[in-house]
Every structure is written in C-alpha cells, then in structure tokens.
Amino acid sequence: MTITLKDIEDAAARISSATVNTRFEKSQTLSSMAGTELFLKFENFQFTASFKDRGALNKLLLLQAQGPTEGVIAMSAGNHAKAVAYHSQRLNIPATIVMPRNTPNVKVQDTKSFGARVILMGNTLDESANHARELAESENLVFVHPYNDLDIMAGQGTVALEMLAVEPELDCIVVPVGGGGLIAGVATAAKALRPDIKIIGVEVEAYPSVHNALHGQKQTKGGSTIAEGIAVKQPGDLTLEVIRRLVDDVLIVTEDSIEEAIDLFLSIEKTVTEGAGAASLAAVLAHSSNFKNLRTALILTGANIDSRILASVLMRRLVSKGRIVRFLVEIDDSPGSLSGVAEAIGEFGGNILDVSHQRMFATVPIKKADLHLTVETRDVAQNQDILARLRELGYDAELLKE
C-alpha cells in the first residue's frame, strides 16, 4: 500500500483553491555561495506558515467527502496542529489537538485561535499520541497522523509538482526529514516525472532516525534541537517504505549549520525560517561537493520559529562573525576612568552595548577594577584596532574569546 503520481495529482486539484502555490525561484547569492544553482520553494508563505497545510487539507477534504464525522483529532506540538486546526475550522469539522504539556504557549494559543479544542497531555509527543488515540476511540474521532498516512503524504507531494512545473530540468531536490511524509510525497511525484532526479533528505544530528534506518544503525542521540520540526525518533512504516525505494541519500547536519542557514535566509533572502525549514540549505553548504553542477531545489518547509529563539540565533551569529565581542580592561577605580575607555572605543567606531564594572570579585589590586564591555563592531579587523588603541593608551586590555 503506497501512493502514486495520480494520488498526488488528484490531491493538487483538490487543495488548489485553499493552499498557496508558493514562490519558487533561483537565489543568485546563495547559488554563488554554494557553487551550484539553488532554487528556493517558499513553503513558509503558506497561510499557517508551513507545508503542512497541503497534507492536512487533502486529508480533511477526503474525510468530508465520505460523509459527516464526529470530528478529527491530531497530536502535534507545532505545524501539523496549526494546519489541522485551521482547515478544520474552514470546513466546519470539529478538531481536537493533543499537545505535550511543555509546548510553548504561543503555539498553544495559535492552535486555539483556529477554534480547536486543545488538550495538554503527556511530556513527549509519544505520550500525547497515545492519549490522542485513546480519545479517538472513546469519542469516535478520526485520528489524523502528521506523516504516516497516505492522504497526508499525497498532499505533501503536491509541492514537487509545483516545483517541476516551473523548473522541469531540476537535477536534485533537498528535503528536510522528520517522520518522512514530505519526502515520501516529493520523491513519489518527482521520480515519476523525472526518474533520474536526485532526492536528498536532511536530518539533524540529534535525530538521524531515517539515516539510521537506511544504514542499519541504532538511534543513539536525542535531546533538544533548534530543528524541532524534524526531531522525530522513528519514521512511519508507510513513509519509510517509499524512502527506501526512491530516496537517494539522507545527509546529517549540525545545530550550528542550521543556525547559520537561518541567519543566511534572513539576511540574504529576507525571509524567516524555522530550524527544520533551514536544514536543506545547511545540508547543501555543509556537503557542497554532493551538489556540484546540479540544479538543486531547497524546500523552506516552515517559518514557525519562536521570536526569542530567532533573536538568540541572530545575536549568536553576530558573535561568531566577530561583530559583537567582549573586552576585558583593567582600569583605575577612580572618577573618569570609564569615560576614557568609552572614548577610545568610540574613536574607532565601536558601539558599547553593555558594561560591567567589577571590584569585589576581581583579582586586580584594590585600587583598580575589571571592566567587561560588550561591543558591537564592523568586523574582526576593527576589533583589533580597538584593542591596539586601548593598549596604546596604557590600559591592560584583552579581547575575550568566550
């Protein structure tokens, strides 16, 4: 039992009036950085800001066609929850979403705003799923799985039809992989239309479940990740069957490379992506030799990233690039000493963001103090110019590495 190109084409016709045929275009700058042609599919522009709209709507429309139902139930901590809740509201289908107790409040409220009944139950998605299945049984609700469902897979596969309609000569499609619903649908559609096209999956290093399944390895990691959308411990049996047949490879990327990709999408393409949505770019930049001379499509799967996390990512990238640095300067503990240091930094264009004046816990003599300064600068060269100027003025100064 699997999906076919016709299933996906039927899904495309079914959902076309209520989903977005999102932008798909070449990125000149990222192509130059990667050394190959990169085309971006902006699924973060769907109404609920992820590709999940496609599969959820296809499933709900098919259920609706079968006749009245008591309602649907899903388990999710993010994009699937929003998609099911939104389209259920549109179609007047009662929806219940079971979410882990630790789900960020913003995601809970987003889901409630679409009229869904939200139940916080369990400490993990697996525990939430168990409760959802129990409710489905006791309340006669239809369980809508986030990925291990043929109708969901067919809906997700419609994104491949849109990409190949715009760029029929694509050589490769890179797809973030969690449970495998998206890559199974994409691979089915793309391989049917272009048998020689490469389908490459991407997983984060903490959750290499599909990679391990393909290579006979055991799951050894887990834990927190910025790419929570693909933090799945076990792919579906339906999705894995398709992946084994049609997917060419699954690459692993690091947390740091995903953070860099989020930053690049925002700074270059002026678009917001969540961790999972940036994984495809992270893979191409980290494994550039795999994509040399290939016309490659990247799917930006979603934009639902917590604003606090996004802010932290952007600030951390500034630190890694040497644009926000910390100086430690020993000064006299006397009036005017601080202003002298500030003047020296300002003289070279540095912008002081934070100052900490330490007397009690410092190891310097009693009449001196340690001054910790966080400074915004233009680049590494400017940092060195400021450091040299401070030392030239007689300060015992250093540029802190951590």
User: DSSP code of 367?
Assistant: T
Instruction: Report pLDDT digits (tens) over 301-351.
Output: 999 998 889 999 998 888 888 889 999 988 877 777 778 888 888 888 889
pTM of the model: 0.88
Checking if the pLDDT of 359 tops 90, the result is no
Q: Which of 166, 211, 175, 51 is nearest to 221 (CA)?
A: 211
Assess if residue 58 is contained within a domain.
no
Asked whether residue 145 is assigned to any structural domain, the reply reads no
pLDDT confidence bin for 36, thresholds 50/70/90: very high
Look at residue 10 and tell me whether its pLDDT is greater than 60.
Answer: yes
Q: What is the mean pLDDT of residues 179-186?
A: 97
Using 50, 70 and 90 to split pLDDT, how confident is the model at 363?
A: low
- Whether the per-residue pLDDT at 368 is higher than 90: the answer is no
Same domain, 160 and 195: yes
Same structural domain, 342 and 292: no
Decide if 171 is inside a domain: yes
- B/e letters for 110-129, b = 16+ CB within 10 Å, e = fewer, are bbeebebebbebbeebeebb
So what's the pLDDT on residue 285? Answer: 97
Looking at the structure, do residues 36 and 178 belong to the same domain, yes or no?
yes
Q: If you average pLDDT over residues 90-106, what whole number do you get?
A: 89
**DSSP secondary structure letters along 215-245:** HTPPP---S--S-GGG--SS--HHHHHHHHH
- Tell me if 97 is assigned to some domain: yes
In a domain, 65, yes or no: no
SS3 of residue 379 by DSSP: coil
199 lies in the same domain as 332:
no
Question: Whole-angstrom Cα distance, residue 173 to residue 193?
Answer: 13
CA dihedral 77, 249, 301, 76 (to 10 degrees): -10
pLDDT-above-70 percentage for the chain: 97
| Residue-range definition of the domain harbouring residue 384 | 322-400
Does residue 268 share a domain with residue 121?
Answer: no
Say if residues 103 and 71 touch (Cβ distance below 8 Å). no
Residue pair 353/294 in contact (Cβ under 8 Å)? The answer is no
- According to the model, what pLDDT value does residue 392 have? 86
CA gap 242, 239 in Å, rounded: 5
282 and 331 share one domain: no
Decide which of 263, 285, 316 is a domain's last residue: 316
**Of the candidates 316, 339, 361, which is a domain's last residue?**
316
> Do residues 180 and 210 both lie within one domain?
yes
Res 402 pLDDT > 80 = no
Distance CA 279, CA 202 (A): 7
Q: Considering its fold, how many domains does the chain have in total?
A: 3
Same domain, 230 and 334: no
- In this structure, the answer to whether residues 85 and 229 fall within a common structural domain is no
pLDDT, mean of residues 57-86: 94
CATH number at residue 357: 3.30.70.260
Among residues 140, 165, 195, the one where a domain terminates is 140
pLDDT at 293: 93
The answer to whether position 375 is within a domain reads yes
Residue 236 placed within a domain: yes
Please tell me the distance from the alpha carbon of residue 79 to that of residue 398, in angstroms, as a whole number: 46
Domain with 88 in it: what CATH number? 3.40.50.1100
**The predicted structure's pLDDT at residue 366:** 52
Report if residue 16 sits inside a domain. yes
Q: What is the mean pLDDT of the chain?
A: 91
| Strand partners of residue 327 | 373, 399
* pLDDT for position 4: 98
Report residue 361's pLDDT band, with 50, 70 and 90 as the boundaries.
Answer: low
Could you give the CA distance from residue 235 to residue 147 in angstroms, rounded to a whole number? 8
Clarify whether residues 98 and 240 are in a common domain: no
- Mean pLDDT value of segment 89-98: 96
Tens of pLDDT, residue by residue over 244-290, are 999 999 999 999 999 999 999 999 999 999 999 999 999 999 999 99
The SS3 call for residue 330 is: strand
Only one residue has tokens 């997917």, namely: 247
Mean pLDDT of 339-368: 75
Domain match, 133 and 242 both:
no
| Least confident stretch, 33-47, 156-170, 225-239 | 225-239
Same-domain pairing of 100 and 176 = no
